[in-house]
Amino acid sequence: MTISVAFEVPGRILEGLKKGELIRRGGVIQRPDGAVVMWLRESGGLQKALEAQPVQAAQRTLQGAMDQAGVPTTSAIGLSTLQLGLTAIGFALLYRKLGCIQERLDEALNRLAELKVEVSWLDRRADAEIFARSAAAIESARWAERSGRLEQLTQLRHAFTAACSHHRALLTAASSAKRVHAHAGAYMAHLMGLAQSGLARARCDALLDGPQQAREHFLPVKKEVEQFTEVLRAPLRQLDKHPELLTLAPAAQASVRDALGSARMEAEGLVTLDTQLEHCIRHGLSWKEWESIGAGDESERVLILLPGSAMGREAARH
């Protein structure tokens, strides 16, 4: 299999995006039928820069690298503290994203507390514990990967499975209590927690058992994130059946709008990983082989990966 590596987006792809013939979802450019025509990937140097810098500086570095790659603003990845990185699911970035999610949940709960709103569907003590365990597991997983002690990932992935169960239960409780939109900030934090825990477990599985097993365990989480996102979106399409949404306070309405944007970015990140795993399965690539493409490039650039049709293991650089 050949994968062409470029640093400027081909004109035909930009034209396809403008005409709506191609769709960008996260770090992947697809045709409407789902066929992948291009990935956006961080080079090795850019990944290190994103991991090492403060959040705001990392955003500027990523934007600068995308400008250098020729990716226009109209087709750029949305940059936010929860969407650092285009396609990477390295443990270092997952750790930082988890911290951002916890901060977001704390802010949402503090606002609710100031308004003296009871959030009976949440368990704050359990939240703090699950975030602490997830953070510790990601740090340990990062050490295990770097030191080559991959057998340690078998136990660590249990923490990510437990985190998925926790976030799933609270999302279900919010839906049952009909508090999804009134508490959109907290709901979205748990939706992000479910997505990031699923990504962390998928990385463990990909390293331990390969892309095939990783995708089999990852797809149910991806589907759950899509379903819980639809719980947030669906009533907004039928306001005549949900008049209570029209009476939400301005702050709550703003929180819903922010949650919708965050939900889109989380979904795009999951779509990107799914296409990567499927590509590895189809061409018999290990996860390490996939990630090695561009890893030796120490410049702060975005790699444009164009999947080829020929078989082989070397990437052709253009």
240-256 pLDDT per residue, tens: 999 989 899 898 899 99
Give the C-alpha distances (Å, rounded to integers) separating 162 from 95, 156, 159, 227, 299.
16, 10, 5, 19, 38
Q: How confident is the model at residue 311 (pLDDT cuts 50, 70, 90)?
A: very low
Q: Which is more confidently placed, 316 or 269? A: 269
Give the C-alpha distances (Å, rounded to integers) separating 139 from 104, 135, 156.
20, 6, 10
pTM: 0.90
β-bridge partners, 38: 29
Say yes or no to pLDDT of 315 above 50.
no
Q: Which of 35-44, 70-79, 170-179, 215-224 has the lowest mean pLDDT?
A: 70-79
Report pLDDT digits (tens) over 154-189: 999 999 999 999 999 999 999 999 999 999 999 999
Please give the Cα distance from 300 to 286 (Å, whole number): 25
Is the separation of the CB atoms in 61 and 53 below 8 Å?
yes
Q: Which amino acid is at 222?
A: K
Please give the Cα distance from 192 to 134 (Å, whole number): 13
Three-point CA angle 142, 144, 146, nearest 5°: 70
Q: What is the pLDDT of residue 116?
A: 83
Q: What is the pLDDT of residue 309?
A: 45
Say yes or no to pLDDT of 310 above 60.
no
% of the chain beyond a pLDDT of 90:
53
In eight-state DSSP terms, residue 295 is T
Is the separation of the CB atoms in 189 and 105 below 8 Å?
yes
